[in-house]
Every structure is written in C-alpha cells, then in structure tokens.
Amino acid sequence: MKTNKIKMIALILGGGAGTRLYPLTSQRSKPAVPIGGKYRLIDIPISNCLNCGIKRMFVLTQYNSASLNQHIKNTYIFDHFTHGFVDILAAEQTPTSDKWFQGTADAVRQSMHHLANHEHDYVMILSGDQLYQMDLEELTHYHIKQKADLTVATIPVIDKHAPAFGIMKVNDKGFIDTFTEKPPLEVVPEWASPVEEKYAKQGRHYLASMGIYLFKRKFLEKLFNENPDATDFGKEIIPLAIEQNFKVASYPYGGYWEDIGTIRSFFEANIALTDAIPEFNLFDDDNVIYTRPRLLAPSKIFGTWFNQAVIAEGSIIHAKKIERSIIGIRSRIGNNTEISNAIIMGNDSYETLDEMEKLGNTPKRGIGDNCQIRNAIIDKDVRIGSDVIIHGSVALGDTETDTYCIRDGVIVVKKGAIITNGTKIGLGA
C-alpha cells in the first residue's frame, strides 16, 4: 500500500514571526532560512513528503514570505501527469475571518477551504522548521493499522527539554491517555513514561509531541466545527480529542530530530553536519534532500587547509584554514583568512570584476583577507573587509547593533551588512 495511492494532502506550518531565530528571520520567514550550505529549512519537510510519495502540499505562512515564494516557485516544479504541487497559503482576510493565524490549529482551520477542491481522505500536518528524516509512509500505515482518528508522532526527551513540548502518556495499545502542553519543570517528573532501555539510559523518560500530526479528514473537520474557538493543536485540539475518547495514537520515532527554534539550536544543527557520520545524513540516496538546482560552477580552492568542512558549489576560496564550518553557495573568502565553527551562508549572486573596481573603500561581497571568524553565522550577501576579527563565545551577553547581534554566544552578522577593515567583534574586541 503506497502512500501516493492514499488520498492525502500535507500542510506545512510556516510558523510565526520567528523572533527566536532573529535576525535570520528579519527579512525572510522561518521556512526560508538557509541551512546546510545550499538548502532552506522548507526543503526538509517537502523532501520527507516527496520521498514517500506525498506530492500535494500547501505551505502556510504569514510573515516575510517573498523569498519563500520565490524558492518554492523555482524549485518544486511538477510535470502535468503527476498532479503534484507545492503552493503557498498566506494568511488572508476572508468573509469568515479578518484575523491573521492565531495558532497552529487556527492556521489549518483558515486554510481548509483551499483543500475542498482536492480529493483527500487524510491531512498530514508538518512543521516547517525541523530537521529530520522520517518515513512518512510508515507513519501513514501505522495510522491506518491503528484505525486512529489522529496520530501524533512522538519522541523521547530528557526532563529539562520537556517543558518546551507537549508531553503525553501512552497505553500499551499505542493510544494516548493523557496529554499536557509545555508542563512546568516542577511537574515534569509526574509525566515520566516507560521507554526503551536505550532511551532510559540517556535519561529520555518523557514522550514529546514532534508537531507532526496525521488526521482523518472528516475527524479534523468535525473537531474544527465543534470547537470553533480552539486555535492551537497542542493546547486545545489534542486534549479535546483525548477527553472525548477519540482514537488518538502515538507514533514512536527514535531517529534524529531537531527543532530549529533558536539561534543556538540552528547553529549547532548546522555545525553537526560537518561530523564524519552526522545523525542527519545529506548523503542518503533513499532520503534525498531536494532543493533548487542552481547549476553553479564547482567550487575553486587555492591552498586552503580543510578539516570537517561542508563546501557548497560556486565558491572561490583562498583562505588559510577552514575547520568545522559550513560554507554556502557563491562564497568568496580571501587570503590568509581562518574560519572555525562558523556558518557562512554565501551570496545570492556574484559581483563582476567591473562592479568590484567601482566599490572604492567598500568591501567586496564575501570575506576579505587576514580575517578570523569563529563561533559565528554570516548571513547572505555580507561584505566583510580585511583584518576583521569576529569571535563568538558563551561569555558574551546578548546584544544588537545595526550590522550584527549576539544570541546565546553566537555572533550573527546580518544579511547584507558591511563590516569595514580592521573591525573587531566579540571576544577580545
């Protein structure tokens, strides 16, 4: 039973304003944030869908959606015979609602009328800001086998992480008996569940919702009709379904999964991709991560020493050393520059030699000579001059300027910022 023969539509939630990922979200929505040198976060859930045969997707968003629109339009183009699509559904005023999305459930409710013209029996709801590779076909078959009205994908977490999630207890038949959204840390011990020994040894005694849901269409419509004021799945819809004795199943997932909610989690998830065998595998032929085919030239390297580095295409690199770092598309890095524990997002276009000659004292797009960059994220189209030191550290407090901000010890240079020659930012500045 293939998922592509099951009548399903996927809704990918674009999230709110993404304030915890600021300044990466100052000019783009969360799903449009670049990751892994050449991808965007939205590519992850879309790829998970495509890899299991789900080819009808809507992305729900309401903030800074222009670059997301452009990326999806230029990337996910289906032929006339697949009937597949990836469409953006932005928050809009309608005769029944003049408000923006008030929560996850409200976003889906306001978008339901767009699904009416598409034949479907199931609705898959995914998040647009998570890093994982899940077999959604297996999830679908589990949902059908359980004869569930709703299935919630769950993952075991440790106690200090539990307050950030919906936490539940599951009976021996795989159904959720009780559920609480983001419990205070002091009551978390009450929500411990029996888990596999390998998770227990890691202290992961709490079953957390991953924000991945599979609904029967008619059941979802019934919940919305009977609870018109419910705006959030975790706070209202799931507890209501359990209280009313509907079949709410838990789908246990034990693979890699990272909720990209903060600058620190984003930074660490990217840097982890440089590991020899990363938990998130970009080299898996069975779980391909799709993105825009830019048809760029190969990267060109001049005498650089590399260790644990991911280098995207189209880059021109003269650096002295690059270690444990992500180098994004069209990056230009000057002579004798050293980069360590950093994410360089690259550039959206190249500057010609003529354009560079006209810059005068303004740095070229990219990173200049004799720079040292460590524990930092350099957003796209940044101009960093020569002899610049950018050194992030957990010893630094959060701060913000016109050109950069510091969050959780990570220095984030803002998109399009100009950092002049000799500038020192962070530790030792």
Class level of CATH domain 3-272: alpha beta
Distance, CA of 149 to CA of 427 (rounded, Å): 54
Contacts of 283 (CB under 8 A, 6+ apart): none
Q: What does the pLDDT look like over 68-117, one tens digit per residue?
A: 889 999 999 988 777 899 988 876 555 555 566 677 888 888 888 888 88
Q: What does the pLDDT look like over 18-28, one tens digit per residue?
A: 788 999 999 89
The pLDDT of residue 99 = 66
Lookup: tokens for 396: 């630094």
The pLDDT of residue 247 = 96
Q: Which fold has domain 300-426?
A: UDP N-Acetylglucosamine Acyltransferase; domain 1 (2.160.10)
Name the residue with tokens 């909720």: 259
The pLDDT of residue 2 = 47
Residue type, 360: G
The pLDDT of residue 16 = 67
Percent above pLDDT 90 for the chain: 75
Q: What does the pLDDT look like over 135-183, one tens digit per residue?
A: 999 999 999 999 999 999 999 999 999 999 999 999 999 999 999 999 9
Q: Is 82 exposed, middle or buried (0-12, 13-18, 19+ CB in 10 A)?
A: exposed
More confident residue, 1 or 286: 286
Q: What does the pLDDT look like over 22-62, one tens digit per residue?
A: 999 998 988 999 999 999 999 999 999 999 999 999 998 87
| pLDDT band at residue 315 using 50, 70 and 90 as cut-offs | very high
Q: How far is CA 188 from the centre of its chain?
A: 27
Percent above pLDDT 70 for the chain: 96
Q: What does the pLDDT look like over 349-360, one tens digit per residue?
A: 999 989 998 998
The pLDDT of residue 341 = 98
Q: What is the mean pLDDT of residues 328-343?
A: 98
The pLDDT of residue 1 = 39
Instruction: Look at residues 331, 323, 271 and name the one whose alpha carbon lies nearest to residue 131.
Output: 271
3-state SS of the chain: helix, strand, coil percent to 5? 25, 30, 45
Q: What is the DSSP string of 366-418?
A: EE-SS-EEEEEEE-TT-EE-SS-EEE--TTSPPEE-SSEEEETTEEEEPTT-E
Q: What is the mean pLDDT of residues 111-130?
A: 90
- For residue 90, the surrounding DSSP H or E stretch is strand 85-90
| pLDDT band at residue 17 using 50, 70 and 90 as cut-offs | low
Q: Taking the model in full, what pTM does it have?
A: 0.93
Instruction: Look at residues 332, 414, 330, 411 and name the one whose alpha carbon lies nearest to residue 374.
Output: 411
- Sheet strand arrangement including 366-367: 300-301, 316-317, 332-333, 366-367, 383-384, 418-419
Q: What does the pLDDT look like over 187-224, one tens digit per residue?
A: 999 999 999 999 999 999 999 999 999 999 999 999 99
Q: Give the lowest-confidence range in 12-26, 242-256, 410-424.
A: 12-26
Residue type, 129: D
Q: Give the lowest-confidence range in 65-74, 343-352, 410-419.
A: 65-74
- Domain edges within the chain: 3-272, 300-426
pLDDT surpasses 70 at 380: yes
**Mean pLDDT taken over the chain:** 92
The pLDDT of residue 284 = 87
Instruction: Look at residues 85, 96, 102, 99 and name the one whose alpha carbon lies nearest to residue 11.
Output: 85
Which residues share a beta bridge with 306? 322
pLDDT surpasses 90 at 369: yes
